[in-house]
Amino acid sequence: MKYYFNTVKTLLNIASGKFFVVIQMFVSCCLYNLATLLPPIATSGIIATVTSHNFNGIWYYVVLYCIFYVVYFSMLNWNYYTYTVLANYYHLEVQKILFEHIANNDSIFNKISRGKIVDTTSDDIRYLVDVINAASEALMKFVQLIVVFIIFSSYNILVALIALVIDSIYLILMNNNSKKVSKYYEGTRKYEDKIIDILNQMLVNLKQVKSLNIMPNLNKKLDKTRTKWMQEYKYKRIAMTNRYCKMPYIVYIGKILLYIFLAYLVSIEKMTIDKLVLLISYFELTITCTDSMLTYLLNLSNYGIRVKRIKNILDYTSNNNIDFGDITNDYINGMVIFDKVNYEIKNKLILNNVTFKIYPNEITAIVGHSGSGKTTIINLLYRLDRIKSGSILIDEENIYNYTKKTYASNVSGVFQKPFVFEMSIRDNLSLVDSNFKNQIEACKRVGIHDFIESLPKGYNTVINDEQRVLSEGQKQMLVIARALLTKSEILLFDEVTSNIDLNSTTKVGEILKELKHDHTIIMITHKPEMMQIADRVIVLDHGKVVSKGTNDEVFNKCSLYRELRNRTFASISNTENEMI
C-alpha cells in the first residue's frame, strides 16, 4: 500500500494545484460506490413482501429502489465532472512544467534519452488524472468491502468469515501478480524508449538514412532491442494470463462452497429466502468489488511507472544551472568585459585567463580555429554556463546579478542554424513580440519584409521545410528580425553565415553594419567576408586570447588572424561546427 500512496503523493507534489477538486473526486467516488450497496436492500424487501403475500408494501421498496439509483447516478455525475477538471489540469500543467524544466536543463539529454523524454511529455502525462481516479476507486472499493463484511457479520458471522478468507486469499495472490505485471510493463517501456529514440534521430536525418541505404543495417541493430522488448512483453502476458485465467478459480470454487453452505442454512430453517438472496447479492458484489479494486490497483501500479518517469526527468538538474540575481536595471549601454575568465569542463581548461573589452556601437569579431573556445564565450554570455573564476561584466555589473527577465531582454542573438517553428511567420515573431507593427518594422530593417509581403498569405504564411517557403538565408534574416524584437542592446551572432551563400552572407554583413549604430554586435565567424566588416577583433587559440584590437591592428600583428582572413571562401567548409 505504501507504493500506491507514494505514487499519489509524488503526483500531488509535482502538480500541487486543484487539491480541493482531488478531495471532491475521493468524496464523490466514496458516495457513488456506497450507493451501489443500497439496491440489494430494496431487492430483498421486494422478495420479502412477495413471499409474505403482502403486495401493498411492494411499492415502498420500488420507490426506494428508484431513489437509490438516482443517488448513485447523481454521485457518478459529480465524479465525472471532477475527472474532467483534473484531466485538463494535470495534462496541461505537468506538460508545461516538463517543458520549462527541459528548457532550463539542456544537458538533460546527456543523461536521459530523447526517446524517453518525448514519450513521457506526450504519452505519460495523459494518464496522470487516472492516478487519482484509480487511487480513489481502489480506496472506496476497499471501504465498500469493509461495509459488505459488516453486513455479512450482522446476519451470520460464520458466513462473513468464510467470505473474508476467500477474498483475502484472492487479494494477496492478485496483489503479488500486480507487482509482476508492473515490473514487466516498466521493462517494455524502457525498450520502447530506445526504439523511439532511434526513430527521432531517423526523422531528423531521414534524407541521409535514405541516401545511404542504412535502413537494413539499422533494422538489424534495432532487432536486438525489439527482441528484449518481446521478452518483457511475453513475461507480462504470462502474468496477465495467470491473473485472468487461473486465479479466478479460487473465487469461483469458494463461491460454490459458500452457496452450498447458505442453501444448507435455508434447508434447516436458520435463514429465510430473502436473506439468502440478500447475502448472495452481497457476495456477488464482493467478488465484483474485489476484482474492480484489484484492476484499479494494477492500473495504479502501471500509472506509478509513468509518474516515476516524469519525476526522473524533473529530478534531473544540470550542474551548470545559473542562479539569477535581483538587478532589474533595463537601461544598459552595452559594454561587455571579460576579466581573467577561466572556464573548464571535466577538469579540462577551455578558457584560460581570458580578458578583453567589447564596446557599444561596434562590431566585434571573435575568431580562431575550431575548438579555440569561441562558442564557449557566446554560451557564457547567454549565461548557459558559469565560469570557474574571473568575472564577466555588462556595464560594470556582473552578468549573474541581473534578473532572468532583465538579462534576456538585453542580451539576445542568432545561432548558426536558423531555428523557426512550423507555424506562420507572424506566429514565429509573436513568440517574442505580438505587436504586428513592431514585427513589420523589424522585418523591414533586415530587408525581408518585401519578400514576405510577396507571398500569397504574407505574414500568415506557414513555414514548412518540405515546401521550402524560405531559403536558409531568408530564414536567417527572419531569425535576426526576431532577435531585434527582443529590444536587446547586445546582439550575439554565432556563425550565422556558415550555411548560406555568398550573396546572403553579404546581405547579413550589411545588416550588422546597420545594426551596430544602436547595438553592441558580437559575432563568431570563420568567413573572411564577415571578418572584414568587424571594427574590432579578438583572436583565440587553445582557449587564450592571442591578439585583440582594431581590425587593422590585429591583421598587422597577428599571423593567425592573417591566415584566417586570407583563406578563400571556397576553401572553407560550410559544415564546420564547433563543439566548444
pLDDT in tens, the chain (580 residues): 677 888 888 998 998 888 999 999 999 988 888 887 777 777 777 777 767 666 666 777 778 778 888 888 898 899 999 999 999 998 889 888 988 888 777 778 777 877 788 888 888 888 899 999 999 988 888 887 888 778 777 777 777 787 778 778 887 888 788 788 888 888 888 888 888 878 777 776 666 666 667 777 778 878 888 888 899 889 888 888 888 788 778 777 877 877 787 787 778 877 777 777 777 777 777 777 788 888 888 888 888 888 888 988 888 876 655 667 778 777 788 899 999 999 888 778 889 899 999 999 999 999 988 888 888 898 889 887 788 888 999 988 888 888 888 888 888 888 877 778 888 899 989 988 889 999 999 999 888 899 999 988 899 988 876 667 888 888 888 888 888 888 888 999 888 877 777 777 888 888 888 888 888 999 998 888 889 899 999 999 988 999 999 999 999 998 898 888 886 443 444 434 443 4
Report the alpha-carbon angle 6-287-270, nearest 5.
130
- Amino acid 43: pLDDT: 72
Residue among 486, 483, 559 at smallest CA distance from 523:
483
3-state secondary structure of 360: coil
φ, ψ for residue 424, nearest 5 deg:
-65, 160
DSSP state of 124: G
Q: What is the pLDDT of residue 573?
A: 41
Beta-bridge mates of residue 338: 356, 392
Amino acid letter, residue 184: Y
Instruction: Locate all alpha helices (DSSP H) within 15-55, ordered by sequence.
Output: 19-35, 39-51
Q: Are 102 and 108 in contact (CB under 8 A)?
A: yes
Amino acid at residue number 25:
M
3-class DSSP state for residue 334? coil
Cβ contacts of 460 within 8 Å, gap of 6 or more: 424, 425, 426
Q: Which amino acid is at 58?
A: I
Cα separation, 400 vs 184, in Å, equals 47
pTM of the model: 0.65
If 0-12 CB within 10 Å is exposed, 13-18 middle and 19+ buried, where does residue 379 land?
Answer: middle
DSSP code of residue 335: -
Question: What does the pLDDT read at residue 208?
Answer: 63
Q: How far apart are CA 394 and CA 464, in angstroms?
A: 38
pLDDT confidence of residue 204? 65
What pLDDT does 579 receive?
37
CA distance 508 to 512: 6
